[in-house]
Amino acid sequence: MNRNQAPSIPSSRLFHTLFPVPQSIARKAPLNVVKLVAMMPEKVRSLTPPVGVTEALALGLETVAKNPLLLLLPLILDVMLWMGPRLSFRPLISELSHSLGNGLDPVALTAMVFFLYLGFPMWGHQQVWEPLNPLLADLGQRDFSFSAVTKVLEVLAQTAPDQYLGVFMPSMVAGRDAGPLPFNYVPPVWQIHTPFEVVALRVGLFLVGVVLWSLYLAIVAQLIKEKRSSLGWLVKRVPIVLTQLILLLVMVAVGVFLFFLVLSAIEMLSRLVGVTGIAAFLMLLVILLGTWFVMFAVFTIHGMYMNDRGVFAAVWDSLRVVQWNIASTLSLFIVILILVVAMQFIKGWLDVRSWVIPVGIVANAFLSTGLVAATFVFFKDRYRYWRELREELLAELERRRVQKS
């Protein structure tokens, strides 16, 4: 959307949601809000239009170029991951293959679940699949047997490469297959033997990522908000936001667990009465509602840092901004998604054993931080425009009320 073009006016009911009018004014001046705004085009045009998608992206990258210290955290993290300890899931795979070789073992099957979904990610790694292709092809041509699976796991236990630690942050190497460094240093390798170690490691790395991500966003947000960095504000604000985010994640996790518990009960009851498809329909409905909520709550952490709001108030601010700018918001995040996917393809082409990785680390930190800064620029200016338009609306309503009295 062009900066010189104001956002289109939403429907009347939606507008009342976005611009709540005080009851003292609404009772004395019961006017259609959309028509009222349409009747005051000069005042609307006098407001500074909000930034467009292209301008927000440009300002985000410009902010990073002018403040290279923003790159410090992602750069330090990536260098530590590149040169630091690696993970080896070969002992776990070996234990799993031995357990399966002795017959159907529920513990081994549980280990397989942890291994596939929480541990070593086999997908997308050509180095892993290459030696397995003949065995997998042979496995697909005959009946399933644990001996065949065991053979596949035995090969994988010998060929699975080490991995970099996977941390929830913009990173060049996190979670990828590791290789030898281009200089004379051999990093330590952490051997993973049990499913418990996998779970503990993943949960620990996730929590570390949440802490680093909260600090990272706070640094970017403060620079966009105040054009400067303050250690005191970070020390005061980050723990509050972090605590609220963790509580929110716990609430979401408990909600998801309870939902699947209820879903399992419904599925059992539906099978008893001979009705199928209810659980699948409910699952689809929840996925759609969850997607809708995530889309409209996408600026929650932006509101928490930019407006010093609590988590629920920040969700409401995000809802208002996205509803008022839904086309621009979708455009912004589609562009960001395209750039992130392109970055992932480029990362896959780079050899982790070469000196090109440090260059990639710097480029990834710059572009990732620029995209994050762009979202804060977009939210800040769109929220500013919403507030100014709301003030103009309330002033006009008050003026009309005075004229009628």
State residue 149's pLDDT score.
Answer: 64
Task: Work out the percent of the chain whose per-residue pLDDT is above 70.
Answer: 73
- Which is more confidently placed, 191 or 93? 191
State residue 291's pLDDT score.
Answer: 81
- What mean pLDDT is predicted for residues 249-269? 78
- What mean pLDDT is predicted for residues 310-332? 89
Ranked by mean pLDDT, which of 46-50, 109-113, 129-133, 370-374 comes out on top? Answer: 370-374
Does the pLDDT of residue 42 top 70, yes or no? no
- Mean pLDDT in the chain? 76
Q: Tell me which long-range contacts 227-231 makes (C-beta under 8 A, separation of at least 24).
A: 229/69
Q: What is the CA radius of gyration of the chain?
A: 27
- What mean pLDDT is predicted for residues 8-24? 43
Does the pLDDT of residue 19 top 60, yes or no? no
Does the pLDDT of residue 33 top 70, yes or no? no
pLDDT band at residue 87 under the 50/70/90 scheme: confident
Q: Tell me which long-range contacts 304-308 makes (C-beta under 8 A, separation of at least 24).
A: 304/241, 304/244, 305/217, 305/218, 305/221, 305/222, 305/225, 305/237, 305/241, 305/376, 306/221, 306/224, 306/225, 306/376, 306/379, 306/380, 306/383, 307/383, 308/237
* Of 2-16, 169-183, 341-355, the least confident: 2-16
Instruction: State the Cα–Cα distance between residues 112 and 97, nearest whole angstrom.
Output: 10
pLDDT band at residue 63 under the 50/70/90 scheme: very high
Query: 327-341, pLDDT tens digit by residue?
Result: 899 999 999 999 998
Query: 352-391, pLDDT tens digit by residue?
Result: 778 888 899 999 999 999 999 999 999 999 999 888 887 8
pLDDT band at residue 89 under the 50/70/90 scheme: confident
Does the pLDDT of residue 13 top 50, yes or no? no
Q: At what angle do helices 195-226 and 356-404 cross, to 10 degrees?
A: 60
